[in-house]
Amino acid sequence: MKPQFWQIVRFGMVGLVNTAVFYTCYLLLHPHLPYFAAFTAAFLASMVGSFFMNTYFTYRTRPTWRKFLLFPLPNVTNYLVQSGGVLALVQWCGVDDRIAPLLAAVVALPVTFVLSKLVLTGRDPGRPASADDLDAPPVHVEVVDK
Protein backbone atom coordinates (compact mmCIF):
# COMPACT_ATOMS: atom_id res chain seq x y z
CA MET A 1 0.00 0.00 0.00
CA LYS A 2 1.05 3.59 -0.51
CA PRO A 3 2.80 5.35 2.38
CA GLN A 4 0.29 8.20 2.23
CA PHE A 5 -2.56 5.73 2.82
CA TRP A 6 -0.90 4.61 6.06
CA GLN A 7 -0.34 8.22 7.08
CA ILE A 8 -4.06 8.83 6.66
CA VAL A 9 -4.83 5.71 8.73
CA ARG A 10 -2.42 6.83 11.47
CA PHE A 11 -3.85 10.36 11.30
CA GLY A 12 -7.29 8.90 11.82
CA MET A 13 -6.10 6.86 14.80
CA VAL A 14 -4.47 9.93 16.34
CA GLY A 15 -7.64 11.85 15.63
CA LEU A 16 -9.70 9.29 17.54
CA VAL A 17 -7.39 9.43 20.54
CA ASN A 18 -7.19 13.21 20.37
CA THR A 19 -10.96 13.50 20.08
CA ALA A 20 -11.36 11.30 23.15
CA VAL A 21 -8.91 13.49 25.09
CA PHE A 22 -10.62 16.66 23.87
CA TYR A 23 -14.11 15.39 24.61
CA THR A 24 -13.15 14.17 28.09
CA CYS A 25 -11.65 17.58 28.89
CA TYR A 26 -14.73 19.28 27.43
CA LEU A 27 -17.13 17.21 29.54
CA LEU A 28 -15.06 17.82 32.69
CA LEU A 29 -14.97 21.58 32.08
CA HIS A 30 -18.55 21.93 30.79
CA PRO A 31 -20.24 21.96 34.23
CA HIS A 32 -17.90 24.72 35.42
CA LEU A 33 -17.66 26.95 32.32
CA PRO A 34 -19.99 28.14 29.58
CA TYR A 35 -19.99 25.57 26.76
CA PHE A 36 -17.92 27.71 24.38
CA ALA A 37 -15.24 28.45 27.00
CA ALA A 38 -15.09 24.73 27.84
CA PHE A 39 -14.78 23.96 24.12
CA THR A 40 -11.90 26.42 23.69
CA ALA A 41 -9.97 25.24 26.77
CA ALA A 42 -10.35 21.57 25.81
CA PHE A 43 -9.30 22.35 22.25
CA LEU A 44 -6.09 24.07 23.38
CA ALA A 45 -5.20 21.28 25.79
CA SER A 46 -5.72 18.58 23.18
CA MET A 47 -3.71 20.51 20.56
CA VAL A 48 -0.47 19.93 22.48
CA GLY A 49 -1.08 16.18 22.61
CA SER A 50 -2.04 16.20 18.95
CA PHE A 51 1.27 17.81 18.02
CA PHE A 52 3.32 15.07 19.64
CA MET A 53 1.12 12.19 18.46
CA ASN A 54 1.16 13.46 14.87
CA THR A 55 4.86 14.22 14.92
CA TYR A 56 5.98 10.85 16.25
CA PHE A 57 3.25 8.49 15.07
CA THR A 58 1.51 9.91 12.00
CA TYR A 59 4.33 11.57 10.08
CA ARG A 60 7.28 9.97 11.86
CA THR A 61 9.33 13.10 12.04
CA ARG A 62 11.22 14.88 14.77
CA PRO A 63 9.43 17.51 16.82
CA THR A 64 11.14 20.89 16.74
CA TRP A 65 10.31 24.22 18.30
CA ARG A 66 9.67 25.62 14.83
CA LYS A 67 7.12 22.89 14.07
CA PHE A 68 5.57 23.31 17.51
CA LEU A 69 5.20 27.05 16.96
CA LEU A 70 3.76 26.52 13.44
CA PHE A 71 1.45 23.67 14.47
CA PRO A 72 -1.25 26.05 15.72
CA LEU A 73 -1.74 27.31 12.13
CA PRO A 74 -3.61 24.22 10.90
CA ASN A 75 -5.28 24.07 14.29
CA VAL A 76 -6.52 27.66 14.00
CA THR A 77 -8.25 26.63 10.79
CA ASN A 78 -9.51 23.50 12.53
CA TYR A 79 -10.70 25.63 15.44
CA LEU A 80 -12.54 28.06 13.16
CA VAL A 81 -14.27 25.24 11.26
CA GLN A 82 -15.14 23.35 14.45
CA SER A 83 -16.17 26.36 16.52
CA GLY A 84 -18.31 27.70 13.68
CA GLY A 85 -19.86 24.26 13.44
CA VAL A 86 -20.47 24.06 17.19
CA LEU A 87 -22.09 27.48 17.27
CA ALA A 88 -24.26 26.73 14.23
CA LEU A 89 -25.29 23.31 15.51
CA VAL A 90 -26.17 24.57 19.00
CA GLN A 91 -27.64 27.97 18.15
CA TRP A 92 -29.41 27.31 14.84
CA CYS A 93 -30.01 23.57 14.73
CA GLY A 94 -30.76 22.95 18.40
CA VAL A 95 -28.18 20.16 18.71
CA ASP A 96 -27.25 19.27 22.30
CA ASP A 97 -24.11 21.21 23.25
CA ARG A 98 -22.50 18.00 24.52
CA ILE A 99 -22.82 16.34 21.09
CA ALA A 100 -22.15 19.30 18.76
CA PRO A 101 -18.32 19.22 19.15
CA LEU A 102 -18.18 15.63 17.88
CA LEU A 103 -20.26 16.44 14.80
CA ALA A 104 -18.22 19.55 14.03
CA ALA A 105 -14.94 17.59 14.32
CA VAL A 106 -15.93 15.34 11.41
CA VAL A 107 -16.16 18.31 9.06
CA ALA A 108 -12.74 19.67 10.07
CA LEU A 109 -10.83 16.38 9.65
CA PRO A 110 -9.75 16.60 5.98
CA VAL A 111 -8.66 20.23 6.29
CA THR A 112 -6.58 19.44 9.36
CA PHE A 113 -4.83 16.48 7.68
CA VAL A 114 -3.68 18.53 4.70
CA LEU A 115 -2.47 21.50 6.73
CA SER A 116 -0.77 19.50 9.50
CA LYS A 117 1.15 17.44 6.95
CA LEU A 118 2.44 20.63 5.35
CA VAL A 119 3.58 21.99 8.72
CA LEU A 120 5.07 18.80 10.15
CA THR A 121 6.75 17.41 7.03
CA GLY A 122 6.90 20.30 4.58
CA ARG A 123 5.30 18.02 1.96
CA ASP A 124 2.15 18.56 -0.02
CA PRO A 125 -0.23 15.65 0.73
CA GLY A 126 -1.21 15.48 -2.95
CA ARG A 127 2.36 15.00 -4.12
CA PRO A 128 3.27 11.48 -5.24
CA ALA A 129 5.17 9.44 -2.67
CA SER A 130 8.95 9.53 -2.77
CA ALA A 131 11.66 7.73 -0.85
CA ASP A 132 11.38 10.44 1.83
CA ASP A 133 7.80 9.35 2.52
CA LEU A 134 8.68 5.75 3.35
CA ASP A 135 8.81 4.57 6.93
CA ALA A 136 12.18 2.89 6.37
CA PRO A 137 15.30 4.57 7.74
CA PRO A 138 17.45 6.43 5.21
CA VAL A 139 20.18 4.50 3.42
CA HIS A 140 23.68 5.95 3.68
CA VAL A 141 26.03 5.34 0.77
CA GLU A 142 29.73 5.80 1.22
CA VAL A 143 31.85 6.57 -1.82
CA VAL A 144 35.34 5.16 -1.58
CA ASP A 145 38.01 6.84 -3.67
CA LYS A 146 40.69 4.44 -5.03
Residue 139 in domain: no
pLDDT at position 145 over 80: no
> Would you give the distance in Å from CA 2 to the centre of its chain?
20
Residue 146 in domain: no
Query: Which residues lie below 8 Å from residue 11, measured CB to CB, with a gap of 6+?
Result: 54, 58, 113, 116
pLDDT at position 141 over 50: no
Residue 135 in domain: no
- Dist CA 61 CA 55 (whole Å): 5
Average pLDDT, the chain: 82
Average pLDDT over residues 33-59: 91
pLDDT band at 89 (very low <50, low <70, confident <90, very high): very high
Residue 25 is part of which domain span?
Answer: 3-125
The number of distinct structural domains making up the chain is: 1
Residue 132 in domain: no
Residue 143 in domain: no
Residue 145 in domain: no
Residue 111 in domain: yes
pLDDT of residue 123: 64
Residue 142 in domain: no
